[in-house]
Amino acid sequence: DVQLVESGGGSVQAGGSLRLSCAASGLTYSSYCMSWFRQAPGKEREGVAGVSSTGSTYYADSVKGRFTISQDPSRKMLYLQMSNLKPEDTAIYHCAAVANKDPRTAITILNVHRTPSSGAFWGQGTQVTVS
């Protein structure tokens, strides 16, 4: 079974930094685009960053220049370095995977498909709180 397990969330003051990690298992990592989504209370889930197996990246405008997505395919690890954090970045951050070659397309797909039966895999999330 595919498993995505996030870690690294926490509480931080505005202007601070956090690094999220996602450990993937049960999938052929090179066949998937990996993404980070976030969901704040009362808001829609938002795709914030994605990376393809070849290293192409996508960032939402809201995080561009502040967040950096990276990965270590050999360890099936995904990361999100978050800097200059703002209170509006407060959310539960989820790691997600879908078989695709383009990170922006992957996020579009993941905005619709949320279940393994549809080829979309999600982690349980890690809370990030910025005050």
3-class SS at 110? Answer: helix
Helix or strand run (H / E) with residue 108 = helix 103-112
Quick one: pLDDT band at residue 25, thresholds 50, 70, 90?
very high
pLDDT in the model for residue 103: 95
| Mean predicted confidence (pLDDT) in 100-105 | 94
Task: Single out the residue of 44, 51, 64 nearest to residue 112, CA to CA.
Answer: 44
Q: Record the tokens describing residue 30, joined without a space.
A: 């090179």
What is d(CA 82, CA 11) in angstroms, rounded to the nearest whole number?
Answer: 13
Given a contact cutoff of 8 angstroms between Cβ atoms, the answer to whether 122 and 34 are in contact is no
What does the pLDDT look like over 27-81, one tens digit per residue? 988 899 999 999 999 999 999 999 999 999 999 999 999 999 999 999 999 999 9
| Mean predicted confidence (pLDDT) in 96-103 | 94
